[in-house]
């Protein structure tokens, strides 16, 4: 199964080496994915990175340089850390596709220059300011284009307008079940320009978290320990220069690694969900003895986000992919000559529908699916 990549991985290495690669990194963390289906339970272990853990004390420097190979082939990366023209650290790593690996840590606050080069060609340089008490990481991003790039993730960055939070965190809904790990948020600026953005999270009439961030281009801020319980929360994301989204954040009780994923794009309103967007794979089978026409659509809050029509001959089958703009809970609606059916499908970080199949028979269409989750 192709699982979420990039930011969900980067923030863990970037802010969470204090327990970093324990748990679930989708393809890349150690841990176990449990796949639940109507026929039973199966387990599979994702590709593992090195088990990196460091103890972080309050106010201590926690700055790391890592590499994430988001391409489809192994890569060899050489990274160099300089300060005032002097080499502080240098490391060459062979990184398999889909893997996040630590390169080195920054020893003390200061202004640094980080350079990265690929054995296959291509290089990039980034000036990095690490202040006292910094928590976060700079990640060398390898995506198969031949040119590395950099992405910075900041953890629990102070609000630009003060603390903002109106109650103690993590927030707990009374009498709601606790999740295996605390819910966290990632707010990424992919607009290409600096932005000022306000994030507010509420339950019922209580806004228990509100913070305004000033983010440079390609910066991500991670908010750890936001929620402690399953439930439904309201998220309000407001960009100062224009664009606002109010959405729901749904956390089922069995969602062990809940993530609130927010992206400020170059155009349009912020994207709010529970992971990165991508394709939902569906296998369609015609079990009748005649040709059947069908339309499959993905809906989110009553709006169609992806749709595909097909004509299947008797006994025919076809695999299709329906695109989603952001990870979230969707409804798969199947309309065929024989009737209509719908079912919930989910595409979240570490919580995803798998083996989704549609059977077209003499009655209404039948939809079967299971959920794979990290445990």
Residue 44: is its pLDDT beyond 50?
A: no
The answer to whether residues 36 and 134 belong to one domain is yes
Phi-psi group of 23: left, alpha or beta (phi > 0 → left; psi -120 to 50 → alpha; rest → beta): left
Q: Are residues 187 and 231 in the same domain?
A: yes
Query: Are 38 and 83 part of one and the same domain?
Result: yes
In this prediction the pTM is: 0.76
How far apart are alpha carbons 281 and 274 in whole angstroms? Answer: 18
Residue 170 preceded by cis peptide, ω within 30? yes
Choose the final residue of a domain: 221, 245, 273.
Answer: 273
Nearest one of 369, 341, 373, 345 to 357, comparing CA atoms? 369
- What are residue 12's phi and psi, to 5 degrees? -70, -45
Q: Return the residue matching tokens 């607009």.
A: 191
CA separation for the pair 24, 30 (Å, rounded): 6
Last residue in a domain, options 221, 243, 273: 273
Judgement on whether residues 269 and 282 belong to the same structural domain of the protein: no
Residue 107 lies in a domain: yes
Task: Give rounded-to-5 percent helix, strand, coil for the chain.
Answer: 0, 60, 40
Per-residue confidence (pLDDT) for residue 162, from 0 to 100:
58
Last residue of a domain, one of 110, 132, 149: 149
Contact 353, 371 (CB under 8 A): yes
What percent of the chain is modeled with pLDDT above 70? 82
- For the chain, the domain total comes to 3
CATH code, domain carrying 351: 2.60.40.4150
- On whether both 143 and 11 belong to a single domain, the answer is yes
**Where in the sequence is the domain holding 118, given as residue range(s)?**
7-149
Note whether 121 and 212 are same-domain residues: no
12 and 81 both lie in a single domain: yes
pLDDT digits (tens, 9 = 90+) for 77-130: 999 999 999 999 999 999 998 888 899 999 899 999 999 999 888 999 999 999
State the average pLDDT over residues 43-67. 51
Q: What is the pLDDT of residues 128-166, one digit of tens each?
A: 999 888 889 999 999 878 899 998 888 877 777 655 666
Residues 6+ apart with CB under 8 A from 368: 37, 38, 355, 356, 357, 359
Same domain, 44 and 133: yes
Residue pair 49/100 in contact (Cβ under 8 Å)? The answer is: yes
């Amino acid at each position: 199964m192709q699982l979420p990549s990039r930011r969900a991985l980067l923030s863990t290495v970037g802010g969470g080496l204090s327990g970093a690669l324990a748990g679930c990194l989708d393809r890349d963390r150690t841990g176990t994915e449990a796949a639940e289906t109507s026929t039973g339970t199966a387990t599979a272990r994702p590709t593992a990175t090195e088990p990196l853990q460091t103890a972080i004390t309050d106010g201590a420097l926690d700055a790391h340089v890592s590499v994430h190979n988001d391409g489809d082939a192994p890569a060899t990366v050489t990274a160099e850390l300089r300060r005032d023209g002097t080499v502080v650290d240098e490391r060459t790593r062979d990184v398999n596709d889909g893997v996040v690996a630590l390169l080195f840590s920054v020893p003390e606050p200061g202004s640094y220059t980080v350079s990265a080069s690929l054995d296959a060609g291509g290089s990039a340089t980034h000036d990095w300011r690490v202040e006292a008490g910094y928590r976060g990481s700079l990640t060398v991003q390898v995506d198969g284009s031949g040119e590395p790039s950099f992405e910075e993730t900041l953890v629990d960055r102070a609000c630009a307008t003060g603390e903002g939070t109106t109650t103690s965190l993590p927030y707990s809904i009374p009498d709601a079940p606790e999740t295996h790990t605390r819910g966290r948020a990632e707010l990424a600026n992919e607009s290409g320009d600096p932005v000022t953005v306000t994030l507010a999270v509420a339950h019922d009439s209580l806004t228990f978290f509100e913070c305004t961030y000033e983010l440079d281009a390609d910066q991500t801020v991670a908010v750890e320990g936001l929620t402690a319980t399953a439930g439904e929360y309201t998220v309000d994301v407001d960009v100062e220069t224009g664009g606002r989204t109010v959405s729901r954040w749904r956390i089922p009780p069995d969602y062990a690694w809940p993530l609130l994923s927010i992206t400020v794009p170059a155009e349009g309103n912020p994207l709010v969900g529970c992971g990165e967007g991508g394709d939902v794979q569906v296998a369609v089978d015609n079990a009748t003895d005649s040709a059947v026409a069908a339309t499959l659509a993905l809906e989110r809050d009553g709006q169609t986000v992806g749709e595909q029509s097909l004509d299947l001959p008797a006994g025919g089958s076809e695999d299709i992919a329906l695109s989603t703009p952001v990870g979230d809970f969707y409804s798969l609606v199947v309309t065929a000559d024989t009737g209509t059916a719908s079912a919930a499908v989910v595409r979240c970080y570490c919580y995803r529908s798998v083996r989704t199949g549609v059977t077209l028979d003499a009655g209404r269409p039948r939809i079967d699916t299971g959920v794979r989750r990290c445990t």
